[in-house]
Amino acid sequence: MEGNLTVLLHSGSRGLGYQVCDDALAAMREGADRHAAPLPDPQLVAAPASSPEGRRYLAAMRAAANFAWANRQVMMALIERAMTRIFGGDRESFGFALVYDVAHNIAKLEEHEVAGARRRLLVHRKGATRAFPAGHPEVPSAYRAVGQPVFIPGDMGRPSFVCVGTGAAMLETFGSAAHGAGRTMSRHAARRASSGRDLLKEMERRGVLVAAHSPKTLAEEMPEAYKDAADVVEALRVAGIARPVARLRPIGVVKG
């Protein structure tokens, strides 16, 4: 609804998830010869999902995803506490309500149609998120009539978007959509491009207050370092993969 205040929180399992991945890569490299999997790149090592390495990794990945969920719940509670302290009132008077929490950079067992037959697949989503359509049994009941919420976060100077999944996504992308716009320049290039600029003042002139862990973080996350999320959302709409339903204009950004 226009005029509502929305908080977007983007965080995950952080160091735990990295360690899970690091340990799994080492275990899968050791088993690569046994699984007769040629490796075009050491980072692309894999193992059958039914193998001991595969089962251990999937279990550890799910544990990391659960940790990430708990991490976000704690952070949201801290955000609520900060807002009520600053603005007064309490949780009820503010009307705090979680719209949706979703994981990305994850693999999930799902049923999809392949060559006219239903198959159970392990769908890997990297930089992508689920975009299931209205009526899909795995869409939470609160959203089943409209489709799964799909968040497309923008940069700190331009809007973010909320979309919903579509039936076309199930046929074209295994029920997946982009999770963000992606970078136009590396972190190093962004730091170099922002040299001599007062990014805090620039953002303030655009009506956005920014708090960053360090000037380095601020430079790496400047708006020009990312594609415009509006262009990505339009591409998703034209492709029929996701339908935009809300546009969120930034007014305050915290970069960790």
Exactly one of 104, 179, 188, 213 is catalytic; name it: 179
State yes or no: is 35 an active-site residue: no
State the Cα–Cα distance between residues 165 and 78, nearest whole angstrom: 30
**Please, where are the H alpha helices in the chain?**
14-31, 52-87, 91-94, 167-172, 187-193, 199-205, 215-220, 229-239
Contacts of 109 by beta carbon, 8 Å cutoff, 6+ apart: 120, 121, 122, 123
CA separation, residue 190 to residues 80, 148, 160, 185, 213 (Å): 32, 34, 21, 6, 16
Active site residues: 179
